[in-house]
Structure 1
Amino acid sequence: MTQVAIVTGSATGLGAACAVDLASRGWNVAINYTKSRREADETYSKVKAHGVDAILVQADMGQDIDCRKLAEETLKKWGRIDGLINNAGATKFQKSGDLDGFTAEDFDRILWVNVAGPYMMSRAVWPNMKKQWEKSRQRGSIVNISSTAGATGLGSSIPYVASKGALNTLTLTLALWLSPAVRVNAICPGFIQSRWLRDGLGLAEYEKMKQAMEQTTPLRQAGTPEQMAEAALFFLTSASHVTGEILLVDAGNHLGTVPMKGR
């Protein structure tokens, strides 16, 4: 039986990389987008090129009715959901120290998409995953895409940082509540080479940050969407004895710079 995964926010960036990587491993994939239909079509073509099946579902992960629709469309197509990657996210870039840089509405939207969204999607897939566990002991897997912002307090804005900290603790709670039928883990990417970050920071600041990652992190790398997808899929597809873990994926940036000869 071919396994099935939903990847939210999978038109571009990390979400798209997860969808394509899953397809390369033989999974059928439900691709989700809110506005980026052209990019979603491109991701769909890349997924289908691996010989698997896929569907495109437009849905806003800040709306419960849309979360339920995404799960329902997936079940209608394949009759099962084995994996969920909660990747869709929102932010508003805010200059450090500018406490007036966002409104209550901005705060509400960011927390709703980044925290309530993964909760609502997990709730939407839970009945099927529980049923599969009870019927055949096939355990579901959920991976939340968090951020190092939730661990360090540094990120694009205060609401974003707060949302990722909340997502980390939500991961722990869901790992307990959905056990033993479902494993729930999270990855916390650091800098990712992406259009989203480039557009948010501006080209000059983006290139400055990218260069800093390449020169100062222990691995001397600026992360790519594909590298983050590798970590997410480790939890989703391989780590059968792991739940409730939160993994920093930042080339060791959280460790600080360790000078070494020959570098």
Structure 2
Amino acid sequence: MELRNKTALVTGGGTGIGRAVSFELAGRGAAVIVNYSRSQAEAEETARRILEEGGRAIALQADVSRDDEVRAMVRSAAEHFGTVDLLVNNASVTRHIPMDDLESATGEIWDELFDVNVKGMFFCARAVAPFMKRNGGGAIVNVGSIAGRTGLGSSLPYAVSKAAVHGLTKSLARALSPDIRVNCVVPGAVATRWWAGREEQMRRLAPNLLLQRISAPEDIARMIASALEQEAMTGQIITVDSGQTL
């Protein structure tokens, strides 16, 4: 699929991987809806940079865990750009809890992480699907995590939520076929603000990876863009981790 002149919604599009995806898709000619929940300044700056470089972009607020806000955001996006052709489900949250500290994994934390990381991706996919089907096709990429493959992550609820994202990808690929392709890109360690306060730990990790480098957000963004373009692929879980899980 040629991304030029397509309209892409990127959730959590103002920071980290989402910001890199917004720039990558704009660079390939897509109009970009930069979604944010709380990072308004970053999202508006991302959209402004795209506009300054001759692209098309708008920043729109919505908490993806709220179905009513997601539907309103997608309606606004369609009113602004005419439709939505592409979705990158990037918005996620975590809590840093030692894996063996089961008591700290409260019901509230489980609910928060599943509401954003899993249900939020479903709400966004459901909201854009009618537009994609009317257009005769579309593509969705969910952002997973190697935590969902290995069971090890910033917390036990986070790892389980990302495993659910991988499962959601396969189920949506079936539910939305043949019109809409759904794939999942699974990053390993990526140099984003999620490492804030733990930069030394990140630097110690790099030499132990097969490629001896921590991925940059741009590495993940290029793979996401490629997955959106690939018309013969759906339901796939694609790992980009510098060999971390091999």
TM-score by length of 2: 0.96
Give the count of matched residue pairs: 243
Q: CA deviation at 1:209?
A: 2.7
What is the identity, as a one-letter code, of the residue corresponding to 2:97?
Q
Confirm whether residue 247 of structure 1 aligns to residue 228 of structure 2: no
Secondary structure at the aligned position of 1:253 is classed as: coil
Q: What residue number does 1:198 align with? A: 195
Q: CA deviation at 1:36?
A: 1.1
What is the identity, as a one-letter code, of the residue corresponding to 1:211?
R
Q: What residue number does 1:259 align with? A: none
What is the identity, as a one-letter code, of the residue corresponding to 1:37?
Q
Tell me, in whole angstroms, the C-alpha distance in 1 between the residues paired with 2:203 and 2:21. 22
Gaps of 5+ in 2: none
Q: 1:213-262 CA distances to partner (integer Å, 9 max, x unpaired)?
A: 2x1111111011111111111111x211000100111001111xxxxxxx
Which segments of structure 1 move beyond 4 Å, counting only runs of 4 or more?
none
Q: 1:23 touches 1:48 (CA, 8 Å); kept in 2?
A: no
Gaps of 5+ in 1: 134-138, 256-263
TM-score by length of 1: 0.90
Q: 1:157-184 CA distances to partner (integer Å, 9 max, x unpaired)?
A: 1111111001101100100110111000
Q: What residue number does 1:177 align with? A: 175
Structure 2 residue aligned with 1:210, among 181, 184, 203?
203
Tell me, in whole angstroms, the C-alpha distance in 2 between the residues paired with 1:50 and 1:145. 26
Structure 1 residue aligned with 2:147, among 141, 146, 149?
149
Confirm whether residue 220 of structure 1 aligns to residue 212 of structure 2: yes
Tell me, in whole angstroms, the C-alpha distance in 2 between the residues paired with 1:46 and 1:250. 28
Tell me, in whole angstroms, the C-alpha distance in 1 between the residues paired with 2:93 and 2:171. 22
Q: Sequence identity, in percent?
A: 40
Q: What residue number does 1:140 align with? A: 138
Q: CA deviation at 1:47?
A: 1.6
Q: CA deviation at 1:114?
A: 0.5
Secondary structure at the aligned position of 1:187 is classed as: strand
Higher-Rg structure is 1
CA RMSD of aligned residues (A): 1.2
